[in-house]
Structure 1
Amino acid sequence: PALGPAGRAMAAAGAGAPAALPDLTVLIGEREAHVRKHPGDDQSWAVLGAAYVERGLRTADSAYYPKAEEALRTSLKTRPEGNAQALTGMAVLANARHDFRGAKKWAESAVKLSPKRWSTYPALIDAYSGLGDAKGVGKALETLQELNSGASVMALSGQVYRDRGWREDAASKLMDAAALAEGPAAKAACLYRVGELSWERGEPSEALRYYEAALLSDPDHHPSLAGKGRALAALGRTSEALRSYQSALVRQPAPGYALELGELYESLKLAPAARAQYDVLRARVKQEGFNGVNDERILGLFEADHGDAEAAVDRLRKEFKRHGSPEVADALGWALHRAGEGKEALKYATRATKKGPRSAVFAYHRGEIERELGRYGAARRHIGEALRLNPHFSPLLAPEAEEAMNALGDPPEGGPEEMYAPTPQAAPPSTPRPPSEAQPKPTPRTTSPQT
């Protein structure tokens, strides 16, 4: 017989794919009723905890995370030995809370217990990514690809390839994953990722096409609504962009969306509306903190550009010690720059551009720091790279990047002095020789002297 809503949600989870939100709701209701009657069923507690985590991720409602932790710990208490399913659930929960050190601990414990259980490796890869451990990501992905080659593994491979800067490979994997995805939610997630790749290449029209395709597949896919708003703003369709962002925030009030919408309002000179969104961001971060979510990076970026840069530096230094990813390195470098610590800022910005994905934001941050330090050649190169990668990367910073390039102007003619041999010094005057003693003229060089 055809699967019911709860069965479909379980099948999606078994395939490593997101379930449709209505199916997930039914599954949660069924498992809650079951564990009330059978409190010793460790597997049902683990399934319930994992479903709470996914529900919280999909709706940006962090109130589900304490429920998830209680359910997963009950599963581990009921079955303390050999419970890889609950350990994996704890790793996914820690990733959702941006506690990547905790996620690594839980996921590695699950892998040690059951190394052939492929569904643990996505959580381990997410943890390594959050910690900036590229080698760990690579080894875990190789093992995962040996254990499974389904659509969810293709999608995760595409994301890893994107982080490495392999955009063509990433797009190919994600398109294959979208074609093979069985459920609408899984298909939407893949199409959204392809749209993100188009956006990062500076192609808002193509990105918009993929975001809209994702929403056709799954109208509840809120990240695609925010992506649609970003693309519409870049295309000059401002009213539509605002409506799309507002719709995304109503359905999924994520702090990142509030920051993007606030900066869009600010770029339109709508200061009161921008301040209102920044207040939403602060309130949301505070609320998520009560539920164990770590939003230090997004709050640090916000404070660096719109608040107290020195407080942002303190916040992001601590976060970098916990999670030294390229994203946190970029945020810390930018905050240091805003606080007037350019030399130290460049160290972190360089780390972000070398170890992170190809990002217009990362390149601009590094170039602006270099310009402040008087390294105009490097600044010209990196700010120009940002505008080539995506001239619409930020409604506030992209215009500043254009102004910076105009201020830097063209590079001086002749290139850097160190590319050429030093000019020879004039020989001191000497007594002229008789014609018979004159030395033969040297044969002219046919090639340039090497430095």
Structure 2
Amino acid sequence: MSPMKSQNVSRAVLASGVGAVLAATALLYLPEFLDRGAPPRPPGPVERAVSAAHAGAPAALPDLVALIGDREEWLRGHPDDASSWAVLGAAYTERGVRLGDVRDLPRAERALDRSLAELPAARGNVDAQLGLGRLAAARGDWKGAKEWGERVRKAAPKRWNAYPLLVEAYTGLGEHAAARKALESLEKLRGGAVVRGLAAQGYRDRGWREDADATALDAAALAVTDAEKAAAHTRLGQFAWERGEPAEALERYGTALRFVPDHGPALAGRARALAALGRSEEAQREWRAALDRQPLPEYVLEAGELAEALGLDGDAGAAYERLRGGSWALGSTEVVLGLLDADHGDPAAAVARLRAAWAKGHRSVAVADALGWALYRAGEPEQALPYARRAVDEGPRSAPYTYHLGEIERALGRTGPARRHLEEALRIHPSFSPLHAPLAEAALAGLGEPDPGVVPKDALPVKAVQSVKSVQSVRGKRV
């Protein structure tokens, strides 16, 4: 999913969820470092990774790599250690997600299966089950993630580590009420920066911007490690970007990079903010740095669209071919490749891909938006409309989603709603995409000004508009 066009978010949820799984397994591993008779010493990288996992926070990547190496070495001499296999599997998953390297996911599966072979689920191996749930979520298998998470919740309802996984799984399935309930359960069991960050993301997903930003600030204040602080400030940058404030977003991402200089999501955030501010050469350099650090498919698409907007067709084509030829197996892939085909390839193929995802139960707002857009691009605006409406109604306050809805309505001749939604998209974020924001401006200009003496037949009744405004005023969040 391109962050300019679809906002599945979930990167923050994903990182927090993996940290939570590591936390569950690392609790069994932590006593190895406790020598009560020895004088205090500075923690090494493995200890730091375990400490971060204990807090459910992202570990610094070098520390995570050190933990993987440590457990690999340990298991060569102790192959029957079920808890260490679970630690290793969860760490492989996190590294694969952080680096966009799908080769780590089969390694994670083998380690977690070995953990269950040494200590079956029926004998209490909750950690391996959590690890398999996290692995399913990393692959975008939301049904599998839900099933593993629910197994753990049933076996150990007070194990907080299951709830970040359930939040993400239910979100991916479009079961928003269940996701909110899982988050509420998590908040009753645990506080701290990671949980406040998940709560902020939940508010953002509902369009409650003020609550999201205030809670994200709480999470930043509670963050302890550099990796945790970088994640918290990156989230604040994301929220500022989505509000249409690229200068503030740039500052927030810069703060994140002071804590972790090669933080991939912050580098990507800086790139899109620089592009919105007209600093195109800097944006391209930052995209190259982000892709060197974390070559996620959504970043490749976004970098390609910036190149296309700048008239660099060779660079854009290379990015799109990289996406088509890559071995992608992360959760965002179906949306990214769907949008790639919808806008830069075969819209019918995009429809087929996204319909298949929808049939599998992948009914997040990101999939709804992408499917609606693909149907529109394939010449089926009537079929597209319900999906686009769902994304706007159930998702965050998103300029890309609202733009898509406006264009679909314009294709259907629904001039009044089309004008309102195109205006709203540009009001939310005038520079939401270097490629698509200018198209939104041109589409709006093509509609012209409404005739003040004519009420469009497709406009909402006055009472309906007043009712919507009343609800929004009470909520005070999406106005």
Same fold (TM over 0.5): yes
Distance 1:368 1:51 in 2: 43
Q: Match of 2:188, SS? A: helix
Would you say 1:407 and 2:473 are equivalent positions? no
1:43 corresponds to: 83
How many pairs were matched up? 416
Counterpart amino acid of residue 279 in structure 2: R
Counterpart of 1:240 (choices 282, 285, 294) is 282
1:424 corresponds to: none
Report deviation, 1:77.
1.4
Would you say 1:341 and 2:341 are equivalent positions? no
Distance 1:57 1:172 in 2: 28
Distance 2:392 2:146 in 1: 24
Distance 1:293 1:383 in 2: 29
Counterpart amino acid of residue 262 in structure 1: G
1:440 corresponds to: none
Distance 2:206 2:109 in 1: 32
Report deviation, 1:357.
1.1
Counterpart amino acid of residue 347 in structure 1: P
Over residues 83-128 of structure 1, what are the superposed CA-to-partner deviations in whole Å (9 max), with x where a residue is unaligned?
1111111111111111111111111111111110001110111111
Distance 2:68 2:456 in 1: 69
Distance 1:75 1:350 in 2: 45
Would you say 1:358 and 2:393 are equivalent positions? no
2:161 corresponds to: 119
Distance 1:131 1:417 in 2: 36
TM-score, normalised by the number of residues in structure 2:
0.85
RCO higher in structure (CA 8 A, sep ≥6): 2
Report deviation, 1:417.
6.8
- The structure with the larger Rg is 1
1:198 corresponds to: 240
1:68 corresponds to: 108
Verify the 8 A CA contact 1:59 1:251 in the aligned structure 2: yes
Distance 1:227 1:305 in 2: 22
Counterpart amino acid of residue 400 in structure 1: L
Q: Match of 1:253, SS? A: coil
Counterpart of 2:261 (choices 215, 219, 230) is 219
Structure 1: runs of 5 or more not aligned: 421-451
TM-score, normalised by the number of residues in structure 1:
0.90
Report deviation, 1:293.
6.0
Verify the 8 A CA contact 2:227 2:259 in the aligned structure 1: yes
Report deviation, 1:288.
2.3
RMSD of Structure 2 on Structure 1 (CA): 1.3
1:416 corresponds to: 455
Over residues 338-394 of structure 1, what are the superposed CA-to-partner deviations in whole Å (9 max), with x where a residue is unaligned?
111110100111111111111100000000000010000000011111000001111
Would you say 1:59 and 2:95 are equivalent positions? no
Report deviation, 1:415.
4.2
Q: Percent identity?
A: 56
Report deviation, 1:283.
2.1
Distance 2:204 2:370 in 1: 20
Q: Match of 1:224, SS? A: helix
Q: Match of 1:248, SS? A: helix
Report deviation, 1:57.
1.3
Distance 1:220 1:120 in 2: 29
Counterpart amino acid of residue 381 in structure 1: R
Alignment of 1:275-424 (within 5 A): 275-284=317-326, 287-289=327-329, 295-322=333-360, 323-416=362-455
Counterpart of 2:142 (choices 91, 100, 121) is 100
Counterpart of 1:34 (choices 74, 87, 99) is 74
Verify the 8 A CA contact 2:297 2:332 in the aligned structure 1: no
Structure 2: runs of 5 or more not aligned: 1-39, 463-479
Would you say 1:87 and 2:129 are equivalent positions? yes
Counterpart amino acid of residue 261 in structure 2: P
Distance 1:407 1:56 in 2: 46
Q: Which 4+ runs in 1 deviate beyond 2 A?
A: 417-420
Counterpart of 1:6 (choices 46, 62, 71) is 46
Distance 2:399 2:71 in 1: 45
Verify the 8 A CA contact 1:141 1:157 in the aligned structure 2: yes
Q: Match of 2:80, SS? A: coil
Alignment of 1:163-178 (within 5 A): 163-178=205-220
Distance 1:83 1:171 in 2: 38
Report deviation, 1:3.
2.2
